[in-house]
């Protein structure tokens, strides 16, 4: 499982090798904090768009920037290991920036996947991938399920006002 988790420089080398062997490389990214059915369906759908799925995982530092100071719930090593356990995920790399543009530019996937809740013109890296001859695919998302909503439900149901250890 850990062999699926690669440093950025190693994933770039792996991507180049896979592409030379004729594999269609799919890339997506996200926080994947508290894995849920929406994540599983999304990743399986993304994987179906090509031969190899690479997931760019937001680091703990970048999750705090794009979500809030209380996130992520699970640290980046745990999130990466959980993703590595999924059949549909071939490789994971952790990145520190709030968005994956630098990573997309060095990997240059054949297919960039985001959820259908994103407008194509708002998908970071879409222009880069398309200019390189690749395609951008928006896949359906499970309505009304997200990590934020799960956290809200837990807080509401159990009435937490102080962090639990």
| Predicted confidence band of residue 1 (pLDDT cuts 50, 70, 90) | low
Residue 147 lies in a domain: yes
Q: Any idea which of 3-12, 15-24, 30-39, 154-163 has the lowest mean pLDDT?
A: 154-163
The answer to whether residue 110 scores a pLDDT higher than 60 is: yes
127 assigned to some structural domain: yes
Q: Name the percent of the chain lying above pLDDT 70.
A: 95
Distance CA 38, CA 103 (A): 24
Domain that holds residue 80: 2-158
Does residue 82 sit within a domain? yes
pTM here?
Answer: 0.91
Q: How many domains, the chain?
A: 1
Does residue 164 lie in a domain region? no
Please give the C-alpha separations between residue 156 and each of 36, 74, 98, 129, 159, in angstroms, as whole numbers.
19, 20, 29, 41, 5
In a domain? residue 165: no
Task: Judge whether 163 lies within some domain.
Answer: no
pLDDT at 162: 62
Domain with 111 in it: what CATH number? 3.40.50.620
- Domain presence at residue 140: yes
Asked whether the beta carbons of 104 and 67 are under 8 A apart, the reply is no
Residues 163 and 155: beta-carbon distance below 8 Å:
no
- When mean pLDDT is compared across 6-15, 36-45, 146-155, the lowest value belongs to 146-155
Q: Is the pLDDT of residue 164 over 60?
A: no
* pLDDT tens-place string over residues 52-103: 999 999 999 999 999 888 889 999 999 999 999 999 999 999 999 999 999 9
């Amino acid at each position: 499982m850990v062999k699926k988790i690669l440093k950025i420089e190693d994933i770039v080398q792996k991507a180049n090798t896979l592409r030379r062997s004729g594999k269609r490389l799919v890339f997506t990214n996200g926080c994947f904090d508290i894995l849920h059915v929406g994540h599983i369906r999304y990743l399986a759908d993304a994987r179906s768009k090509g031969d190899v799925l690479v997931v760019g995982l937001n680091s703990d530092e970048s999750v705090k920037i794009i979500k809030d100071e209380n996130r992520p719930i699970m640290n980046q090593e745990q999130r990466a290991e959980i993703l590595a356990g999924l059949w549909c995920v071939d490789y994971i790399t952790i990145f520190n920036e709030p968005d994956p543009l630098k990573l997309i530019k060095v990997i240059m996937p054949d297919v960039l996947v985001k959820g259908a809740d994103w407008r194509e013109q708002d998908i970071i890296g879409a222009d880069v991938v398309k200019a390189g001859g690749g395609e951008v695919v928006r896949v359906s998302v499970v309505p009304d399920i997200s990590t934020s909503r799960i956290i809200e439900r837990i807080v509401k149901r159990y009435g937490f006002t102080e962090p639990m250890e």
